[in-house]
Amino acid sequence: MNCRISIVGVGGGGCKIGDRLMAMTSIALPTIAIDTDSKSLLESRATTKLDIGSNHTNSLGTGGDINLGKLSAEDDIEMIRSLFSETDLAIFVVGLGGGTGTGAVPVVLGAAHDAGAMTLCFATLPFEFEGERRKTNAEKAVAVIRETTDSMAVISNDKLAELVGEAGVAETYERTDEILGAGVFAIAKLIAEPEYINVDFVELRRMIANGGACSFGYGQGDGKDKAVNAVNSLFGNSLADGGAVTNAKSLLVSILGGKDLTVTELRQIRDGVSSKVQADCRISLGTVIDDNWAGRVAIAMIASEQPIVRHAIVHEQPVSTRDHAATAKSPRGTKKHKMGQTQLIFESSSKGRFKDAVPTILDGEDVDIPTYLRRGIIVEK
Amino acid sequence: MAIPPVVALEIGTTKVLALVGEIREDGHIMVTGIGEQPSAGVRKGEVIDLENAVTCVRSVLATAEETGKVSIRQVHLAISGGHIQTVVSRGMIPVRSKNREIGESDVSQVKEVARSVNLPADREIIHSICQHFCIDDQEQVLRPEGMEGAKLSLDMLVLHGIRGRMNNIAKVVRSVPMGVQDVAFSGLCSALSVLTPEQKKSGVIVIDLGGGTTDYVAYADDVLAVAGALGIGGDHITNDIAMAFNIPTSQAESVKREHGSAMVEPGSASKNVDVPPEVGFPGRSICLKSLQMVVNARTDEMLGMIRRRIEKDDLLHHIGAGVVLTGGGANMKGITRLAEKMFGLPCSVGRPRNISGMAVATSGPEYATCSGLIQLGFKMMAEQSQHRSMGDWFKQLFWK
């Protein structure tokens, strides 16, 4: 079963990364660009473009006003929500610090969630040289976004720039967008249409649903030893440092390469990654083959300290899921409950004294199942 | 003429409680009788075994009669359950009088209109509570009598529940046999009991943490803004513990009461809790930190769900007096700290106010619902007896 994914860029920064992503790859995923600036939207290559808040901004952008960004999204909330009605997973890309991205993203995430989509948000923090104000704004936004999204990876632009090395300003911007674009594409494509993958879909989606604050890692290499170079690059930069990998309980690794990617190279990457993590870490590894990547290879990784609950996973039962959705439906509730989303059907034996009771479904979850099981908390027995 | 006592009955998931209350001339309420027993035949606030439930309620009422030295013929009944929902209904009428001055008849007419809300066939109204009047375009009018306008509208918060489930609770009482004078939503009763008028004015959230259900209400600007109930409660915490550590439910309950904490405390990793052996269970020792993690996950989820429901109406900005926790779950260690963290507001445990008498009934948060129900009972009685000669002082207590 395939997962319907959209990639969503919000604000100037997010839309640019979305564009780089489109430019680099030959296989299309639906992309959505949401901005307050109609001029930059015109230049965007996204498959769907949405100009929000034109009443407030005359489509000229927010000029860094976060409130205006928020208002703009709230104004067009219905339109935004409708974008996600057919989506299982919305992958957001946003550059924090400015007006539209910072202000609108929490609202848009909320709308996607209401429409029933699972959300994974990649957010970049501004460069050091962009100043204290943008930095503070971005940090505040991170806290807000964390509340509204299922999983989130915060990426420091300064750390991304380490991968670029010494370069001019324009080139640095361009190359960091490119790197993040490639990383997001690799992850998105892996989830959308996995090839040669050893991962259980349910676990993978569960990882995102449970992920909370994740770390994003990226490395790339070319030449004869492209796989080894990519592994060295992945662990040689500080994107996912600070124990992100060594403490990880689950890792999603996507290997992006051309048709020339060999099994030996795959093994080299797999071994390189496994050697860095703890024994109980669950690695989900898969490849994405794209013609544009012949002769080089990129590794994109999401690391989460939340473990995936393995023993509790049974199987998906589409029919009964739908039943639950019907029970959960209340006159005021807007949340849809979708198959293959964050929800898993647990065996009724995991409900103890409530196993024969009419299940209480709240916010799309069967709350009779112990919270620690649903949240994937490992309890020392 | 003497005012007859009010008997409040709560058929909860954990306990069945009946309180007999008498009102004195200064308006003070005394608890003169009490009956209490662990509950039987109730799960998640709903009846699952009618016969057992009836036996239990019968014996509780008998104890209340004995201690209160009264003979009870009818009771006020508290109800809750995850099926209880609210809807805000706006009624609107044209003002008919020639000078367009709003009179009492207009007010009672608009109340009727607002109250007549279209509900699904299986649902019934429990309460309809006035929020704000609105005259033409002037919003938020509290007392419209004597003012002028062309049209008068009223927002009413209508609480409703599934008729069948409410009837089943009432049926338990009728099978005792015993009359049901009135029913009231338990969350509202608790709020009545523990709140001061100042708290209601500045805005406050009351969360009643029961065994089978968790009720919540929020007041903003002296008006009941939100009310509801979730079908999760202390029983779920007990069940989580029993399943996490593979111990019998009864043991899980006592472990929860003695050692449970809504917050994971520093240093708890190195401490253990002994679960004593029981028939068919050899006894064991569990890590305190693991126990607290299980309790924290559940309580955090419960409070989070309530926060989301209150947030939806953008109400948190109108809450100046913080969060008040009541019900048996308010005795849980660390729960006020967790609520403070969750809501970003000061939080306290609410105990019954303006009521005295039998010490046990006036002290703990688990008696808030019945205490509030007695107060509500007297208020209802005053409203109904308006046209009868029931003593002016009594009416004046409730009619300003």
pLDDT at B38 over 90: yes
CB pairs under 8 A between A and B: 78
Do residues A184 and A17 touch, judged by C-beta distance below 8 A? yes
Position A2 scores a pLDDT of: 60
A141 half-sphere exposure, CB direction, 13 A CA radius: 33
| Amino acid at site A186 | A
Higher pLDDT, B65 or A64: B65
- Rounded-to-integer distance, Cα A89 and Cα A87, Å: 6
Arithmetic mean of pLDDT, A112-128:
87
Can the peptide bond before residue B4 be classed as cis, meaning omega within 30 degrees of 0?
no
Residues of A in contact with B244 (CB under 8 A): 370, 372, 379, 381
pLDDT at B300 over 60: yes
Q: How much of chain B, in percent, has pLDDT values that exceed 90?
A: 60
Provide the mean pLDDT of chain B: 89
- Residues composing chain A: 381
Position B392 scores a pLDDT of: 56
Q: Is residue A334 less than 8 Å (CB to CB) from chain B? A: no
CA B344 to chain A, closest CA, distance in angstroms equals: 14
Q: Which two tokens stand for residue B268?
A: 């708890």
Position A304 scores a pLDDT of: 81
Residues of A in contact with B304 (CB under 8 A): none
Position A236 scores a pLDDT of: 80
CA A268 to chain B, closest CA, distance in angstroms equals: 39
Position A114 scores a pLDDT of: 86
- CB-nearest to A379 from B231, B290, B308 is B290
Nearest to A247 by CA among A284, A277, A204, A203: A277
* SS3 call for B303: helix
Q: For B120-133, how does the pLDDT look when each residue is reduced to its tens digit (9 = 90+)?
A: 888 999 999 999 99
pLDDT level of residue A271 (50, 70, 90 thresholds): confident
Q: For A183-209, how does the pLDDT look when each residue is reduced to its tens digit (9 = 90+)?
A: 888 888 887 776 666 555 566 667 777
**CB within 8 Å: A371 and B293:** no
Higher pLDDT, A9 or A290: A9
B257: number of Cβ within 10 Å? 14
pLDDT at A306 over 60: yes
Lowest mean pLDDT among A81-85, B207-211, B322-326: A81-85
Output the CA angle A225-A226-A231, nearest 5 degrees: 100
Arithmetic mean of pLDDT, A262-291:
84
Q: Which two tokens stand for residue B215?
A: 């009720």
- CB-nearest to B44 from A357, A370, A372 is A357
What residues contact A71, with CB distance under 8 A and at least 6 apart? A53, A56, A103
CA B167 to chain A, closest CA, distance in angstroms equals: 18
* CATH number, domain B85-162, options 2.40.10.220, 1.10.8.50, 3.30.1490.110, 3.90.1150.10: 3.30.1490.110
CA B231 to chain A, closest CA, distance in angstroms equals: 6
Higher pLDDT, B381 or B335: B335
**Alpha-carbon distances of B334 from B253, B255, B351, rounded to whole Å:** 17, 15, 17
DSSP summary character for residue B156: E
- Rounded-to-integer distance, Cα A155 and Cα A331, Å: 40
Lowest mean pLDDT among A157-161, A259-263, A333-337, B171-175: A333-337
B319: number of Cβ within 10 Å? 22
Higher pLDDT, A167 or B384: A167
Do residues B208 and B369 touch, judged by C-beta distance below 8 A? yes
Position A287 scores a pLDDT of: 85
Q: How much of chain A, in percent, has pLDDT values that exceed 70?
A: 81
Q: For A135-154, how does the pLDDT look when each residue is reduced to its tens digit (9 = 90+)?
A: 888 888 888 888 888 888 88
In chain B, list all ranges with CATH 3.30.420.40: 196-351
Arithmetic mean of pLDDT, A55-60:
76
CA B288 to chain A, closest CA, distance in angstroms equals: 10
- Rounded-to-integer distance, Cα B213 and Cα B339, Å: 17
pLDDT at A340 over 50: no
Roughly what angle, to the nearest 10 degrees, separates helices B163-174 and B50-68? Answer: 50
pLDDT at B244 over 70: yes
pLDDT at A45 over 70: yes
In chain B, list all ranges with CATH 3.30.1490.110: 85-162
Q: Is residue A327 less than 8 Å (CB to CB) from chain B? A: no
Residues of B in contact with A370 (CB under 8 A): 236, 239-240, 243-244, 294, 297-298
The CATH code of domain B196-351 reads: 3.30.420.40
Residues of B in contact with A350 (CB under 8 A): 243
**CB within 8 Å: B244 and A372:** yes
**CB within 8 Å: A367 and B243:** no
Provide the mean pLDDT of chain A: 77
pLDDT at B340 over 90: yes
Q: For B249-271, how does the pLDDT look when each residue is reduced to its tens digit (9 = 90+)?
A: 999 999 999 999 999 988 888 89
pLDDT at A90 over 50: yes
Q: For A288-302, how does the pLDDT look when each residue is reduced to its tens digit (9 = 90+)?
A: 888 888 888 999 988
**CB within 8 Å: B297 and A380:** no
Lowest mean pLDDT among A109-113, A277-281, B30-34, B160-164: A277-281
pLDDT at B385 over 70: no
- CB-nearest to B82 from A360, A371, A375 is A360
**CB within 8 Å: B305 and A354:** no
- Rounded-to-integer distance, Cα A118 and Cα A188, Å: 13
Among A252-266, B57-71, B97-111, B369-383, top mean pLDDT goes to B57-71
pLDDT level of residue B135 (50, 70, 90 thresholds): very high
Q: Is residue A355 less than 8 Å (CB to CB) from chain B? A: no
**CB within 8 Å: B293 and A372:** yes
State which residue of chain B sits closest to A327, comparing Cα positions.
B83
Tell me which residues of chain A, numbers 81 to 100, contact chain B at a CB-CB cutoff of 8 Å: none
